[in-house]
């Protein structure tokens, strides 16, 4: 990913958690690698919790440096990275302060990128303030999730931002789309004759997509209690991963070809009848429990959570796609907090052989499966049956590891690093287009509305487990189960 593209990267929320843990470390890794960032490129941090550049760099040294480079920090590279950073102290609530930003960047080179690592309530005011000083012209704007609370509020933000920035200037980021295994999923499907003929209803029995977290809401109780797992994870991350898994081969890998195919999947999602939501949607809320030997509190007692809150911290869904390729194949989505492990993975369960002379093992659904692990370790494994050594024809599960790190000398690129480089270089394929976002909200809203209307409490589950038993029962009705013990 060599580039000569000069840039000025303006980071709003420069002292925030996202900047500290993800954005600045990703920019450093691109800088350290050499050749990924143009030498003339500058980073302009915008915040109000530092007095000047010196104080901000002190904050970067103290808070960002511990999050960079798993193999230690190259001090020479770190020092040259700090030379890229400028700082502007701005009160985002005062549009007049944006003249300070205009003056700070007017002589800096290259394309301007504005990254809004702030709360969504500030997206529109920041964009309007940028336009008021002419900084929206020939620039790119990066919007973090959540983009709205529902379809109406999402449209309101998109309408307002769209009055200031054209669609091709807007980069709605979903970091799961930048993960290496997701990229390799595209390569496996569309670069090889082996998998694509099997990637359809005749050969696939079911597909699972899981994003599980051990953490609770931590210090985000106020935010999370007004959001919930369906808005926080399903509407964006899970449905985006589903669309990548299920999409048709694009004409090319240009941005609109890829996103057109993802949109077709989202529009083909079978609408959920409100009367059937109890059968195909499970929501839960964690109670107290034990994770890795440590007692953890119930969601209801977390700071910022309202008394008797019915906000869900767990969601499991059965999803169907009404098109020729996937008709009749269930897609099971699952996400939750305070679960038994931190894992994100896609599991493609292939159908069993139609007849076996080798015993019942070969007739078991899921005996052949492809597991794409996104976190904590990024791997792809293909499982099949083989004969155990010894007398008789006894079958056992074995797997083939697609060990990319053994084939490629370069280390895997972190998701944020890839996506930030794509923004700088003007590549939109891995970012969410507005019509994709609208299609996802349109499908999710009936579930949100039914849960709100029924006012039924979420099903309880103990922290450190895999969620409510109803989530497993939903899969059992289809003769399958969640994959929960992969290493």
Nearest to 82 by CA among 65, 66, 100: 65
Residue 237 is among the residues annotated as catalytic for this protein: yes
The mean pLDDT of 102-113, rounded to a whole number, is 94
Per-residue model confidence as pLDDT tens digits over 260-275: 999 999 999 999 998 8
300-306: list long-range contacts, CB under 8 Å, 24+ apart: 302/216, 302/217, 302/221, 303/219, 303/221, 304/217, 304/219, 304/220, 304/221, 304/222, 304/223, 304/224, 304/225, 305/217, 305/221, 305/224, 305/225, 306/225
pLDDT of residue 360: 65
The encoded tokens of residue 255 equal 């941005």
Q: Which of 49, 67, 175, 237 is catalytic?
A: 237
Judge contact between 482 and 334, C-beta under 8 A. Answer: yes
54's enclosing H/E stretch is helix 53-59
CA distance 163 to 166: 7
Q: What is the pTM of this model?
A: 0.92
Nearest to 28 by CA among 70, 58, 56: 70
Would the CA dihedral through 435, 145, 33, 89 be positive or negative? positive
393 burial (CB, 10 Å; 0-12 / 13-18 / 19+) is exposed
Judge contact between 134 and 163, C-beta under 8 A. Answer: no
CA distance 181 to 347: 12
Nearest to 415 by CA among 192, 75, 141, 184: 184
Nearest to 318 by CA among 146, 483, 476: 476
Per-residue model confidence as pLDDT tens digits over 157-200: 999 999 999 999 999 999 999 988 888 888 888 988 888 899 99
Domains of the chain, start order: 7-144 (3.40.50.720), 177-414+428-476 (3.30.360.10)
Per-residue model confidence as pLDDT tens digits over 446-487: 999 999 998 889 999 999 999 999 999 999 999 899 987 644
């Amino acid at each position: 990913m060599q580039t000569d593209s000069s840039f000025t990267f303006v980071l709003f929320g420069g002292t925030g958690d996202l900047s500290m843990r993800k954005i600045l470390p990703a920019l450093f890794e691109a800088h350290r690698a050499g050749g990924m960032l143009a030498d003339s490129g500058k980073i302009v941090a915008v915040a109000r919790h530092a007095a000047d550049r010196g104080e901000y760099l002190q904050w970067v040294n103290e808070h960002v440096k511990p999050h960079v480079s798993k193999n230690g920090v190259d001090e020479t590279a770190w020092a040259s990275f700090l030379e890229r950073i400028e700082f502007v102290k701005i009160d985002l609530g005062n549009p007049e302060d944006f003249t300070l930003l205009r003056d700070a960047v007017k002589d800096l080179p290259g394309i301007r990128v504005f990254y809004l690592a702030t709360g969504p309530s500030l997206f529109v005011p920041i964009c309007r303030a940028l336009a008021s000083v002419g900084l929206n012209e020939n620039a790119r704007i990066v919007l973090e999730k959540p983009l709205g609370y529902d379809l109406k509020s999402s449209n309101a933000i998109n309408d307002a931002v769209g009055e200031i920035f054209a669609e091709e200037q807007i980069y709605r980021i979903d970091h799961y789309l930048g993960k290496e295994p997701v990229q390799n999923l595209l390569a496996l499907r569309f670069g090889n004759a082996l998998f694509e003929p099997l990637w359809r209803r005749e050969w696939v029995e079911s597909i699972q997509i899981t994003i599980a977290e051990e953490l609770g809401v931590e210090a985000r109780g106020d935010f999370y209690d007004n959001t919930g797992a369906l808005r926080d994870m399903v509407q964006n991350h899970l449905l985006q991963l589903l669309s990548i898994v299920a999409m048709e081969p694009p004409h090319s890998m240009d941005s609109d070809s890829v996103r057109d195919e993802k949109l077709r999947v989202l529009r083909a999602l079978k609408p959920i009848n409100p009367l059937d939501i109890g059968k195909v949607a499970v929501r839960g809320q964690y109670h107290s429990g034990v994770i890795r030997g440590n007692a953890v509190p119930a969601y209801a007692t977390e700071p910022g959570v309202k008394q008797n809150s019915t906000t869900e911290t767990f969601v499991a869904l059965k999803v169907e796609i009404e098109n020729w390729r996937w008709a009749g194949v269930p897609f099971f989505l699952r996400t939750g907090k305070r679960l038994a492990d931190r894992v994100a993975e896609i599991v493609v369960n292939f159908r069993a052989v139609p007849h076996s002379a080798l015993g019942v093992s070969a007739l078991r659904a899921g005996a052949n499966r492809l597991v794409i692990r996104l976190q904590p370790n990024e791997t792809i494994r293909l499982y099949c049956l083989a004969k155990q050594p010894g007398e008789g024809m006894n079958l056992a599960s074995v797997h083939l590891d697609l060990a990319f790190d053994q084939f490629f000398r370069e280390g895997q690129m972190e998701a944020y690093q890839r996506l930030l480089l794509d923004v700088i270089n003007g590549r939109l394929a891995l970012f969410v287009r507005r019509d994709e976002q609208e299609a996802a909200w349109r499908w999710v809203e009936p579930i949100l509305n039914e849960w709100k209307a029924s006012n039924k409490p979420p099903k309880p589950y103990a922290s450190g487990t895999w969620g409510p038993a109803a989530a497993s029962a939903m899969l059992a009705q289809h003769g399958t189960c969640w994959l929960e013990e992969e290493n």
